[in-house]
């Protein structure tokens, strides 16, 4: 069987978080679709709230500490990425944006990405198309056509009349459709052909070795 790695980034701030719940559902559906194609998948999931201090220090100093560097490497080298953010003030969260600001803007080139978002009301769903999709397009990622938005009511079980809300009924269908699109790209992805930073230093590089003692 073919092996692939799927990175999942969740920018939810609470715990438990509807943002993490959506990210997990997207990852589970994608793994299942890849399994149908004979592909085994390793999933690595990161809660940005756990790296908030590291991300801010990177923004201020220009350098990632080893913990954050390891996470960035896992995300940028994965065969596919699921990125989910809560929507604040009509756009992605500051923590979500800051994380993608500190990584090299060429490191996601040609990487398949599925974007998702959560918010209190459906009126924020357009943020996926006017905020998230342009950002990942700028980063030269390959964003799947279907994005997934979940408002608070999407997690409900029915309305006051006992009927199943149409949004609740369609959320699983949207998740499956987006997962299928991502799985198709991930199954065909080849990390060796993706563009990487031409100035990236080799692992173990020691600048002190360039300057022998006098």
CATH at 13:
3.40.50.360
Residue 50 lies in a domain: yes
Q: Per residue in 110-153, pLDDT tens?
A: 999 999 999 988 888 999 999 999 999 999 999 999 999 999 88
Q: Which pLDDT score, from 0 to 100, does residue 153 have?
A: 87
Domain of residue 18, residue span: 2-196
Q: In whole angstroms, what is the distance from residue 144 CA to residue 12 CA?
A: 22
Q: Which pLDDT score, from 0 to 100, does residue 158 have?
A: 41
Tell me the mean pLDDT in the region 36-44.
Answer: 96
The model carries a pTM of 0.84
Contact 111, 141 (CB under 8 A): yes
Residue 208 lies in a domain: no
Residue 115 lies in a domain: yes
What is the number of domains present in the chain?
1
Find all residues with CB under 8 Å of 172, minimum gap 6, and list them: none
Residue 74 lies in a domain: yes
Residue 109 lies in a domain: yes
Residue 76 lies in a domain: yes
Residue 213 lies in a domain: no
Q: Is the pLDDT of residue 14 over 60?
A: yes
Q: In whole angstroms, what is the distance from residue 8 CA to residue 115 CA?
A: 10
Residue 56 lies in a domain: yes
């Amino acid at each position: 069987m073919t092996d692939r790695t799927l990175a999942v980034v969740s920018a939810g701030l609470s715990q438990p978080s509807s943002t993490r719940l959506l990210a997990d559902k997207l990852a589970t559906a994608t793994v299942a679709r890849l399994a149908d194609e004979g592909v085994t998948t390793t999933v690595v999931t990161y809660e940005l709230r756990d790296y908030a201090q590291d991300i801010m220090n990177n923004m201020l100093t220009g350098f990632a500490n080893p913990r954050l560097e390891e996470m960035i490497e896992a995300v940028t080298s994965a065969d596919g990425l699921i990125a989910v953010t809560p929507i604040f003030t009509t756009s992605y969260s500051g923590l979500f944006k800051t994380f993608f600001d500190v990584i090299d803007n060429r490191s996601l080139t040609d990487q398949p990405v599925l974007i998702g978002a959560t918010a209190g009301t459906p009126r924020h769903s357009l943020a996926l198309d006017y905020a998230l999709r342009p950002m990942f397009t700028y980063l030269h990622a390959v964003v799947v056509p279907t994005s997934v938005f979940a408002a608070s009511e999407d997690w409900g079980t029915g309305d006051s009349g006992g009927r199943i809300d149409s949004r609740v009924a369609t959320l699983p269908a949207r998740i499956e459709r987006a997962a299928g699109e991502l799985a198709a790209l991930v199954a065909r992805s080849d990390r060796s052909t993706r563009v990487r930073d031409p100035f990236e230093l080799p692992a173990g590089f020691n600048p002190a070795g360039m300057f022998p003692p006098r």
